[in-house]
Each structure stands twice: as C-alpha cells, then as structure tokens.
Structure 1
Amino acid sequence: MLTDYHNHLERGTLALDYLKQFTDAASINGIQHFGISEHAYHFYQTSDILRNKWVDERRFYDMADYVRLFEEAWRNEIDVKMSIEMDYTPGRHAELGHFIRSYDFDYVIGSIHWIGDFGIDLAEYRKEWDKRDVKEVYRKYFDQVVTLAQSNLFDIIGHIDLVKIFNYVPEEESFLLEQYERATTALAQSKTCVEISTAGLRKPTQTLYPDKRLLQMCFDKKIPIVLSSDAHVPEHVGADFDQALELAKEVGYKEVMTFSKGERKAAPLG
C-alpha cells in the first residue's frame, strides 16, 4: 500500500480537469490512497484562525467551491480523499476545531509554518534566520509540535521537522535530540500520525522529512506513518517514494496508515 496524502492545487485551479492531472499521476505511480490537502489559509472561512499580511493576501478560495470539486470528482468515480492542511495556530484551538468539524474531511493535516510573525519556510523571510538564535527558533518550533499533538485535532502532522528547510540546524546534537524526544512523547499520546515527506528533497535541505533519528523515535514509540510528496504540481506526485520507503523500512516500519472519512486503518507498507 502506498499513500500520498499531502498535495496542493494552489498553482492551478479548483477544477476537475486540473485535479484529474494529480489523480492520474497517482495512478501511474501506483499510489492507492491519494488525497488533496489544500492550505487552509487560502479559504475565507479560516480568517478567524490565522491572520497576517502574507496570509491575508493569499486568501481567495471559498470552502463551498472546494467541497463541490470533490463531490464532482466522486460523481465521476475519481478516487480522491478530501483533506485540508491547517497552519497550527497556538491559542486558536476552538476555532481550529470548529472549522475541522464543519466539513466531512477524510483526514486533516496540521503543520507549523509560523513562529509568531516569522514564516520559517518562506523565501521572503529567509534573511530573518540570520537575525535569530537558531536554538531558540527550534525550541519554539518544537513547543508547537508538542501542543499540536496535545490538541489531538489532527490526523497527521505535516513535515514534522520543516524547521530545517534552509539548513539552519543547531550544532549541539543533544539539544536537537531533546526536541525530538519531547515531540515524539507528545505525539505518542495523541491520534496524530507522522508523514514521511519527500518534499525536503526538493528544498534547500535536500533531505527527507523527518530526520532518520526523529523517525526512529517515532517507530520506537509506535507512532504510525503515512507517505506524502507535498506535490504542488502533478509531476511531483509520488516523487522519490523509493527513498521514503527505504527510510521507513530501515527504521522498522512495516505498515502505513490509511484514512477514509476520519476512520484510520493500517495496511502493509510498500
């Protein structure tokens, strides 16, 4: 079984023809469980959750159109899961929960892209890294991983160590492992799965998410996994899954989690 649960239509349109380019790519690549998880900040209905200038300029979708797209796909017997990728926003658990419960998602991804007003993975903010203490950024980032897990709002945490995207990594390994340890302890006590994402191979880090040491802790604490490409164009669907599978099996995983209308089920990996 192969999954690809983290994918975006934002570079195209909310149209069946464009969606079908993604699902066709999934079929060609042997992916049996495929989902679209558009960024929630694009939707007017999330304006009470995350607000800043960068986000507000990119809020242009309506959830009614998104839902209609999937309903049209299902009427046409296109096998695609309906999901959303939400920016985990501390202090907005009630609003996050209300939004999630308002739609019949197959699963929900929670990701961390912001530390306060600092967009950690955005090119526009890259110079900010040189002005900040890397250990402090990591501490605050993993603080959010912990509270994301404790919220138990999400089925999957997206690219759990996205914070390494621009290769700013604390030199002190013991500090890094401490962050991994507290993150995985919290995740193990939640319903949240971890994705192995190949997107990092297409970013400056040129590594998979998560780091092998972090994934090993996930396995040791029995945290389930899914596979994802975080494709923003059809050509990236299922990209480099050979490397994701190799990493998963190296640390001991034999199963992958699948989702349908919020129900989860384990299936043999690969």
Structure 2
Amino acid sequence: MLTDFHNHLERGSLTLDYLKKFTDEAARKNIAHFGISEHAYHFYQTKDILSNPWVEERRYYDMNDYVSLFHQAWDEGIDVKMSVEMDYTPGKHAEMKKFIDSYDFDYIIGSIHWVDGFGIDLKEYLHEWDKRNVEDVYIKYFDQVVTLAQSNLFDIIGHLDLVKIFQYVPANEQFLLEQYERAAAALAESKTCVEISTAGLRKPIGQLYPDPRLLEMCFKKGVPICLSSDAHVPEDVGADYSKAVELAKATGYQSLMTFTKGQAKEIPLP
C-alpha cells in the first residue's frame, strides 16, 4: 500500500503512452496509490499566480489537454490520480484557490521554489547563493512554509526542506531547529501532510526530504505523511523507497495518507 503522488510528465509528452510508462513502473514497484502532479507554472491558466522570465519560457500547456489525458487514462481503467504541484506564491491566495477549485483534482501539492525572485533549487540561480546570507534565505523560506500551511489550500507540502538542495545549510544548529519547529507547528494546525521524498538522494545534498529531525517534530505534533519520488522520468518512480519507508518507521509512523477527489484517507504503512 505504498504511495507516490509527486511525479512529472514534463520531460516527455502529455500522451497516454507516456503516462503509461509511469503507471507501469508504479505497478511494477507495488505502488498502489499513484498520481501525476505536473508543475502548475507550465499551464497558461496559472499566469496570474506566478510569472517571471524563467517561468514564462516554460509555460506551454493548457489545462484542458491535461484533464483530457486523465480522462483517457480513466476510460482505459488506469488508476492514476490527477494533481498539480503549485508554487506557493505569497499574496496570491485568492488566485491559487480559484485555480484549484476550477478542476476536479484528487489532491494538490504546494511547494516553495522561489524566495524573493530567487529560484533556490535552480542551477541557473546557483551563483546567487554565494551573494546571500544563508540564514536570511532560510528565514524567508520557512516563513513561506508557515503561510503555506496556514492557507490550508494544499493537501501535501512538497520536499519540505528543499532549501538545503545545494548543501547551503546554516552552521547554527539551534537556528535551524527553530525553523523546523515553527514549520512543524504550522503544519500541525493545517490539513497539509508532509511527503517523505526520495528526490533529495538524487540531488547535491544526497539526503531524503525532510531532515529526520524535522520529520520527528512533525510526528510528535501529529502531522501525517505520504511517500513521493518526485520522478521526472519513469524509471525514478518509487526510487529508493526502502530508505523512505525505513525513515518513516524509525520516526514512529505506522500509516500513510492517500487522497481521492480532495478526501484524505489513512492507510497502513507496509
């Protein structure tokens, strides 16, 4: 009864044949609850939520085509959930809600990739890290984690501590734990669950998201979890899941969350 809710078709095409490569890999790895969550910024319908030069070069999908793809899959009996990964954008709550409510999503992932116009996980912006105060970036990043949770617009927060991706981590451990604590506290007051993501193992940081200390804080506060791979190619679906399951169990989790048309359901952790 594994989950993998964070997956992208963007390196291929919005076609049934390409989608099946992902669902076939999920079935091969015994992932019973599987979803596609394409980046919302790719869609013309989200232009009023997030727009900058980097994003506009990559805005090339129409939501009508995306929804149609899922209906094709469902008509063929393929069990795949429909979602998007939305860049949480402060000051755009009304626009985000309008977009989310316009489609029959199974769940919504909210993620933070931008801090004051700085693409924290993009190689194109890597040089910017050396121009900035790391603690300041972390404060602003976790400010957004808090307000993302408070918005209650999202079912899952993606790669909760993505900000560590390029190994820029504050040296002051107490400072870092304070950021973790306020994130966990905000999530505990929301409907948002945390994904244990194996994507970080494929990034420069070489670690799961989130940090075990942050996950433990979430567990102690009753924040639920799911598992995700953030696969951008079919072969990465369910990648390194033994490590994700091991972390979940070591932390104390005994269940995962799954979602259908916005309704959450708890399932046993295998």
TM-score band, normalised by the shorter chain?
A: over 0.9
For residues 58 and 204 of structure 1, what CA distance do their matches in structure 2 show?
Answer: 24
Partner of 1:181: 181
Partner of 2:219: 219
CA drift of 1:65 comes to 0.1
Partner of 1:136: 136
Moved over 2 A (4+): none
CA drift of 1:172 comes to 0.4
Partner of 2:112: 112
For residues 117 and 181 of structure 2, what CA distance do their matches in structure 1 show?
Answer: 26
For residues 226 and 117 of structure 1, what CA distance do their matches in structure 2 show?
Answer: 29
For residues 108 and 259 of structure 2, what CA distance do their matches in structure 1 show?
Answer: 10
For residues 34 and 145 of structure 1, what CA distance do their matches in structure 2 show?
Answer: 25
Render the CA deviation track for 1:26-79: whole Å, top value 9, x for unaligned.
000000000000000000000000010000110000000000000000000001
Paired letter, 1:180: Y
**In structure 1, the residue corresponding to 2:34 is in which secondary structure?**
strand
State the aligned residue count.
270
For residues 28 and 220 of structure 1, what CA distance do their matches in structure 2 show?
Answer: 33
Partner of 2:69: 69
For residues 269 and 230 of structure 1, what CA distance do their matches in structure 2 show?
Answer: 19
For residues 173 and 97 of structure 2, what CA distance do their matches in structure 1 show?
Answer: 35
**In structure 2, the residue corresponding to 1:32 is in which secondary structure?**
strand
> 1:68-107 to 2 correspondence within 5 Å?
68-107=68-107
CA drift of 1:149 comes to 0.2
Partner of 1:17: 17
**In structure 2, the residue corresponding to 1:59 is in which secondary structure?**
coil
TM-score, normalised to structure 1, is 1.00
Instruction: Identify unmatched segments of 5+ residues in structure 2.
Output: none
TM-score, normalised to structure 2, is 1.00
CA drift of 1:107 comes to 0.2
**In structure 2, the residue corresponding to 1:97 is in which secondary structure?**
helix
Paired letter, 2:110: G
Partner of 1:198: 198
CA drift of 1:116 comes to 1.5
Partner of 1:5: 5
Are positions 1:164 and 2:140 aligned together? no
**In structure 1, the residue corresponding to 2:31 is in which secondary structure?**
coil
The CA RMSD measured in Å over matched residues stands at: 0.3
CA drift of 1:91 comes to 0.2
For residues 117 and 137 of structure 1, what CA distance do their matches in structure 2 show?
Answer: 12
Render the CA deviation track for 1:169-209: whole Å, top value 9, x for unaligned.
00000000000000110000000000000000000000000
Paired letter, 2:265: K
Paired letter, 1:125: Y
For residues 200 and 184 of structure 2, what CA distance do their matches in structure 1 show?
Answer: 20
Give aligned-pair identity as a percent. Answer: 73
Paired letter, 1:137: V
Instruction: Identify unmatched segments of 5+ residues in structure 1.
Output: none
